[in-house]
């Protein structure tokens, strides 16, 4: 019985080897020639002549993280605004095209209300009815901007925000703070937390409205980050782009007629600053801060966001005043629209390079090309010789492996202008490449054996044990035959023994 058990063990080991080997080969076969979705790079190429900026989402959840940092592609400019600090960003390409003291500390004044407004939209309900408290009117400058909200007055959050963004009402900010956080100081903490989450490194808020405080400061880079974030919210866009608005009568007031303090979009006070391409966002002014303005403007496939801070109000020869924040912003917009354009710098017809292909049947390389046309914001005109590209294969590979399909995404192509990256686009094959069955089988077998050497070792041991078993069995068989012969022919056996 023991020998049959031993033989059964040998047979089981041999059978397992025969089963495991094909399974491993089959598993390897499933991964060859495929590209996982995670390995495929996301294309950033767009055709701005066909599409505008991406549609904003309906809401931005509290705690949302920072937007992608804009490209630092600042080109030489003959225009320098009369401002302490400034920045001009093309929103569709997320490209900074002008920058003046972007990280210098400045006072934001009522630009602060951009943060207050977006937090109200994220944490509040526009139809909720808010009540003005006596504490919300404390510590406000009597000469500061106001919508004349009264203690005990009730107004929806929506209308409070119009008071805040159009009339720049300081008391409206505190009403919002008490509504969201039950306490103004707690809301200010929330403002600072949000600024940090958005990636702002030079900002500290000390109040909700922007009245001067030495500990209330920011930079134009940070303000542009907050403004870009808020601009994604459609309700913020609507409110901050409204030139005039009527607040319905409340329990303490007749209807209020509100007019935007942004004279680029409102002509209620004067039309000398009006700019037909402008949209939003918010003005600000205190004596220490000077004139401040964050604004947007759109023309064709370009949309710019401008930030200017520390602008003066100049008295002209005729005695009239000139607010440089509006003049400087308008000139920045015109600089952007007149000196930049979207250009098709890469086409699908271009060859990016030739890549070696392993395990192929009949060819050793395949040509790769951009999977789609690539457009970039560039100076108009631009230096075509300054455009360069390079590509990387998925996973950092140096070769591809057959089989390959035509137009299969195999990597990413990066596009540069004067060494600065403009963006990336998917890289794909121009033709299909068949796989060599012989080469593939050889590789799979070699790979299996290198990964599963122990299986081969077991198989060899099994063969050796089986051979030993068979030899031992044959020897025993010969002995039995000899013994049987002796019993049948004893005389013959003795004669043989005497020889």
C-alpha distances (whole Å) from 199 to each of 108, 121, 223, 379 are 17, 20, 11, 29
Q: Alpha-carbon distance 274 to 116, whole Å?
A: 26
Q: Can you spell out the DSSP letters for 276-340?
A: TTEEEEEEEEETTTEEEEEEEEEETTEEEEEEEEEE-EEE-TTS-EEEHHHHHHHHHHHHHHHHE
More confident residue, 473 or 230: 230
Contacts of 349 (CB under 8 A, 6+ apart): 369
Q: Alpha-carbon distance 199 to 73, whole Å?
A: 19
Look up the pTM and report it. Answer: 0.75
Q: Alpha-carbon distance 169 to 220, whole Å?
A: 22
Q: Write the burial class of residue 98 (CB in 10 Å: 0-12 exposed, 13-18 middle, 19+ buried).
A: buried
Average pLDDT score over the chain: 84
State the pLDDT at residue 476. 79
Q: What is the pLDDT of residues 329-363, one digit of tens each?
A: 999 999 999 999 999 999 999 999 999 988 888 78
Residue 486, phi-psi category: left (phi > 0), alpha (psi -120 to 50), beta (remainder): alpha
Q: What is the pLDDT of residues 363-414, one digit of tens each?
A: 889 999 999 999 999 998 889 999 999 999 999 999 998 899 999 999 999 9
DSSP letter at 150? Answer: -
Chain-centroid distance of CA 315 in Å reads 46
Q: Write the burial class of residue 401 (CB in 10 Å: 0-12 exposed, 13-18 middle, 19+ buried).
A: middle
State the pLDDT at residue 281. 97
pLDDT confidence bin for 267, thresholds 50/70/90? very high
Q: Alpha-carbon distance 409 to 391, whole Å?
A: 12
User: Is 17 within 8 Å of 462 (Cβ atoms)?
Assistant: yes
Least confident of 72-86, 233-247, 256-270, 483-497: 483-497
State the pLDDT at residue 363. 81
DSSP letter at 200? Answer: -
Residue 174, pLDDT above cutoff 80: yes
Residue 39, pLDDT above cutoff 70: no
Domains (range + CATH), the chain:
2-26+445-498 (no CATH), 39-51+347-434 (2.60.410.10), 85-341 (3.40.710.10)
User: Is 102 within 8 Å of 220 (Cβ atoms)?
Assistant: yes
pLDDT confidence bin for 32, thresholds 50/70/90? very low
Residue 450, pLDDT above cutoff 80: no
Least confident of 85-99, 254-268, 441-455: 441-455
pLDDT confidence bin for 53, thresholds 50/70/90? very low
Phi, psi of 241 (to 5 degrees): -100, 5
Q: What is the pLDDT of residues 283-326, one digit of tens each?
A: 999 999 999 999 999 999 999 999 999 999 999 988 899 999 99
SS3 386: helix
């Amino acid at each position: 019985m023991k020998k049959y058990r031993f033989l059964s063990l040998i047979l089981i080991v041999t059978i397992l080897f025969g089963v495991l080997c094909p399974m491993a080969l089959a598993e390897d076969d499933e991964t060859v020639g495929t590209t996982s979705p995670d390995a495929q790079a996301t294309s950033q190429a767009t055709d701005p002549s066909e599409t505008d900026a991406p549609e904003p989402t309906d809401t931005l959840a509290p705690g949302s993280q920072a937007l992608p940092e804009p490209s630092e592609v600042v080109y030489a400019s003959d225009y320098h605004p009369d401002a302490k600090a400034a920045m001009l960003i093309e929103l569709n390409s997320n490209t900074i095209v002008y920058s003046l003291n972007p990280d210098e500390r400045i006072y934001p004044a009522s630009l602060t209300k951009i943060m207050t407004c977006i937090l109200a939209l994220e944490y509040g309900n526009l139809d909720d009815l808010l009540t003005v408290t006596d504490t919300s009117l404390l510590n406000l400058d009597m000469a500061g901007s106001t919508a004349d909200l009264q203690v005990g007055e009730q107004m929806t959050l929506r209308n409070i925000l119009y008071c805040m963004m159009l009339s720049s009402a300081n008391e409206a900010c505190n009403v919002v703070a008490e509504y969201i956080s039950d306490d103004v100081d707690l809301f200010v903490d929330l403002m600072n937390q949000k600024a940090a989450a958005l990636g702002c490194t030079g900002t500290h808020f000390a109040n909700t409205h922007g009245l001067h405080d030495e500990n209330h400061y920011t930079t134009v880079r940070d303000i542009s980050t907050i403004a870009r974030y808020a601009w994604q919210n459609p309700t913020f866009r609507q409110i901050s782009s409204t030139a005039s608005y009527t607040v319905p009568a409340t329990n303490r007031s007749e209807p209020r007629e509100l007019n935007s303090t942004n004279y680029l979009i409102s002509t209620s006070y004067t039309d000398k600053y009006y700019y037909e391409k402008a949209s939003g966002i918010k003005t600000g002014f205190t004596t220490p801060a000077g004139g401040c303005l964050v604004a947007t403007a759109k023309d064709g496939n370009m949309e710019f966001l401008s930030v200017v801070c520390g602008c003066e109000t100049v008295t002209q020869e005729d005695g009239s005043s000139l607010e440089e924040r509006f003049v400087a912003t308008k000139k920045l917009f015109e600089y952007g629209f007149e000196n930049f354009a979207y250009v098709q710098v890469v086409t699908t017809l271009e060859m990016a390079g030739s890549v070696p292909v392993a395990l192929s049947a009949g060819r050793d390389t395949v040509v790769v090309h951009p999977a789609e046309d690539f457009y970039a914001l560039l100076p108009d005109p631009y230096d075509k010789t300054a455009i360069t590209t390079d590509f990387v294969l998925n996973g950092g590979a140096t070769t591809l492996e057959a089989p390959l399909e035509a137009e299969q995404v195999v990597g990413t192509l990066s596009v540069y202008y004067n060494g600065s990256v403009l963006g990336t686009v998917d890289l794909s094959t121009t033709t299909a490449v068949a796989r060599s069955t012989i080469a593939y089988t050889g590789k799979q077998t070699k790979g299996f054996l290198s990964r599963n050497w122990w299986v081969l070792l077991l198989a060899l041991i099994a063969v050796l044990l089986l051979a030993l078993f068979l030899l031992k069995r044959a020897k025993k068989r010969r002995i039995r035959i000899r013994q049987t012969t002796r019993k049948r022919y004893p005389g013959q056996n003795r004669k043989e023994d005497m020889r």
